[in-house]
């Protein structure tokens, strides 16, 4: 596909060897379109987080990969950490507890953009302002444990976009947050990808949460891609019984979307 940012062709990931091997992704065909917001939906163990880590180049060494992952949207071999920003489920585990917030974000900007420390610290505060962190100058001097869960996730997002990535991957980035903060983080992600023209992969088990702001849905079950398509088409006329069950289990799909003007 000419407008594909990334193309997976018969892509499989297996952990372990022989009879003890576990198939985490099974012969997946999926294109990620330049500038789109794609939600990867599935229950625990469906393969969605393995896909996120495969895209970001974060699979463990013992993972056996088959098939192809092509990057027609890049003009060079993919550079993990530079071309891809990754937001983890638990920002508490992805942030260093002994370094101040400003230093952590500045390090990401310095490493990938070649800035001086002075420039990187200025960039870090600018990024905290972009993610709407209250009192960004004060947050720069704080440690992770001094921030709320929503504030820590804003810091993680700031670090993820520090290198101006083409692709932002959010792996269950809102699942540990309450409903109000979830909505705030989704609005933030939506605004950032629109402003910077980033492609977004939003990983979640909650189809209702994703349905309000993504362009397309890809539904996974037991390591297989069972359905993909425009969000409005999948929600209105699911082709898979599993997708239909997911939709039926979320009555809040009938409520207005979280993002004004989102695809419907």
Q: What confidence tens digit (pLDDT) does each residue in 85-122 have? A: 999 888 777 799 999 999 999 998 898 888 999 999 99
Domain-embedded: residue 151 = yes
The pLDDT of residue 90: 81
Residues of the chain with pLDDT under 50: 254-264
Whether residue 140 lies inside any domain: the answer is yes
**193 occurs within a structural domain:** no
Write the pLDDT tens digit of every residue in 6-21: 999 999 999 987 777 8
pTM > 0.85? yes
Handedness of CA 234, 238, 239, 245 (dihedral sign): positive
- pLDDT at position 12 is 97
Count: domains in the chain: 1
Structure tokens at 69: 């992952």
146 occurs within a structural domain: yes
Residue 139 within any structural domain of the chain: yes
The closest alpha carbon to 56, from 43, 69, 73, 72, belongs to: 69
Phi, psi (5° rounding) for residue 113? Answer: -110, -5
Handedness of CA 169, 171, 177, 179 (dihedral sign): positive
pLDDT of residue 255: 47
Give the separation between CA 89 and CA 86, rounded to whole angstroms. Answer: 10
Q: What is the pLDDT of residue 253?
A: 55
Q: Within a domain: residue 154?
A: yes
Instruction: Give domain status of residue 45, yes or no.
Output: no
Domain annotation covers residue 39: no
Domain that holds residue 143: 92-164
- Report the pLDDT value the prediction gives residue 252, as an integer from 0 to 100: 55
Q: Can you spell out the DSSP letters for the chain?
A: -TTEEEEEEEEEEEESSGGG-EEEEEEEEEEEETT-EEEEE--TTSSHHHHHHHHHT---TTEEEEEEEE-TT-SSS--BTTTEEEE-S-HHHHS-TTS-HHHHHHHHHHHHH---HHHHHHHHHHHHHHTT-SSHHHHHT--GGGS-HHHHHHHHHHHHTTT--SEEEEESTTTTS-HHHHHHHHHHHHHHHHHHT-EEEEEES-HHHHHTT-SEEEEEETTEEEEEEEHHHHHHS-SSHHHHHHHHT-GGGGSPPSSTT---
């Amino acid at each position: 596909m000419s407008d594909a940012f990334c193309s997976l062709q018969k892509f499989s990931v297996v952990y372990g060897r022989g009879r003890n091997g576990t198939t985490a992704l099974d012969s997946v065909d999926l294109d990620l379109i330049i500038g789109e917001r794609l939600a990867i939906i599935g229950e625990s163990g469906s393969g969605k987080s393995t896909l996120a880590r495969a895209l970001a180049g974060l699979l463990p060494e013992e993972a056996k990969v088959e098939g192809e992952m092509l990057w027609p949207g890049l003009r060079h071999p993919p550079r993990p950490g530079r071309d891809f920003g990754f937001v983890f489920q638990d920002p508490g585990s992805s942030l260093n507890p002994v370094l101040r917030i400003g230093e952590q974000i500045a390090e990401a900007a310095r490493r990938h953009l070649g800035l001086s420390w002075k420039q990187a610290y200025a960039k870090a505060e600018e990024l905290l302002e972009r993610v709407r962190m209250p009192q960004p100058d004060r947050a720069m001097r704080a440690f992770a444990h001094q921030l709320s869960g929503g504030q820590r996730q804003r810091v993680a997002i700031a670090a993820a976009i520090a290198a101006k990535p083409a692709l932002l991957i959010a792996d269950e980035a809102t699942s540990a947050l309450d409903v109000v903060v979830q909505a705030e983080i989704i609005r933030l992600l939506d605004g950032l990808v629109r402003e910077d023209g980033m492609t977004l992969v939003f990983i979640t088990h909650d189809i209702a949460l994703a349905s309000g702001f993504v362009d397309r849905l890809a539904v996974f079950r037991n390591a297989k891609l069972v359905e993909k398509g425009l969000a409005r088409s999948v929600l209105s006329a699911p082709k898979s019984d599993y997708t239909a069950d997911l939709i039926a289990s979320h009555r809040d799909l009938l409520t207005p979307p979280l993002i004004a003007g989102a695809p419907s």
